[in-house]
Amino acid sequence: MNRYKKIGLPSGRTAVRYLIAAVAVGLFLLWVIRLNLVEKTELVSRNGQTFEKAEVTAILRDNLQEDGTRVGEQSVRVRMLTGERKGEELEITSSAGYLFGAVCEVGMRVIVMQSVAGETVIASVYTQDREWVVYLFAALYVLALCLIGGWQGVRGSLGLIFTFLSMLFVYLPLIYRGYSPFWTAVFLCFLATAVTMYLIGGATRKTAAATCGTVAGVVIAGVSAQIFSAASGISGYNVSNIESLMTLWNTDGIQVGGLLFSGLLISALGAVMDVAMSVSSSLYEIYLQNPSLTRKELLRSGMHIGRDMMGTDSNTLILAFVGSNVSMLLLDYSYDLPYRQVINSNSIGIALMQGLAGSFGVVLSVPVTVGICALFYYGKKANCKKRKELPD
């Protein structure tokens, strides 16, 4: 042991841990790469169609009316920045729609949807080029997180990036391969929680307790949604875009009916993770200051802490789901729909199910996490002066 310390190398046990971690990460990356080697069924023919960047150089014909509205489409000249026609100037149109097209101005960067067949080019403005805005705001958020949070902020940003990449390269490929969306979401939540908690708290009992509490809360949210679904007759086939999703079921066998509940688990993950980690960390600090506490006293303290979090985090989920459905609620209000029609509609039922089931997960994750903490912490020695983690 002393020989390792003299030359500045990690101890033998630490070196073995690093080696195991490196092997585990390598195997995981190989699995992810293989998972993404999937041949997708072509749903829409896009032969010759590409989306390229361009810059507006002139407005040839505007569609601005005297009353300030826009009707029809603009005719503009753009200089192509990417693609087969890079460097060339094309005269194309830009519609006045809310979903497609853009109100073009000279110097604006836009995305052009073009189809090239020999010398023939059919192109139109798809939308404004906002890619740089997305990357800039994401970078500013990560920078703020790191500057304000210090090393914890850096670890938190790494956990956030890992969760996002797991959504793209683990969750979506598994569902596309026909696995159950519900259990795929449970697996994703466990994976994201374990990595995020490890980055923030290290390999400690506090981290283990928070991870177990988070997974338990997410599963409770899913089970609550399933019970609500069975009792109300609402299923994953009542969503607004089910017609498009059924194409995936017909062509690839994707279990589209479970996507609603799968999305609910992922939506609830953040709030449940926050509650579980807060309870676990707070109880650890309490026990660190007074290791003589009995298991019953730990349970009582944990419940007192958790009760203060239940209301705010439940509000977070309810307000998040309500906020995402504001346009629907405003339309219902404006049309003065009858109460019985509104309360029994599929859209309102789904929104209520998402908010209430997620809140069930938040509330019930508190006693579960408290119980796990009392089990993990009680009877373990804690060095209050050196602020060491509880021994494994």
| pLDDT tens digits, 44-86 | 777 778 899 999 999 988 887 877 777 778 899 999 999 888 8
132: amino acid identity, one letter: W
pLDDT at 4: 46
Query: Is the dihedral angle over the CA atoms 391, 380, 195, 139 positive or is it negative?
Result: negative
Beta bridge partners of 111: 53, 127
pLDDT tens for 258-317 read 888 888 888 888 888 888 888 898 888 888 888 888 888 888 888 888 887 776 777 777
Are 207 and 197 in contact by the 8 Å Cβ rule? The answer is yes
Q: Which two tokens stand for residue 23?
A: 């092997």
Predicted confidence at residue 11, as pLDDT, reads 59
For the chain, the domains span: 49-129, 208-377
Query: Does the predicted model carry a pTM greater than 0.95?
Result: no
Record the tokens describing residue 44, joined without a space: 């829409």
Q: Which residue has the tokens 């729909």?
A: 337
Q: pLDDT exceeding 70 applies to what percent of the chain?
A: 92
Contact 125, 92 (CB under 8 A): yes
Give the whole-angstrom CA distance, residue 198 versus residue 277: 11
Bridge partners of 80, per DSSP, are: 54
Mean pLDDT of the region 196-215: 86
| CATH architecture of the domain covering 49-129 | Beta Barrel (2.40)
SS3 292: coil
DSSP of 187-235: HHHHHHHHHHHHHHH-SSHHHHHHHHHHHHHHHHHHHHHHHHHHHH---
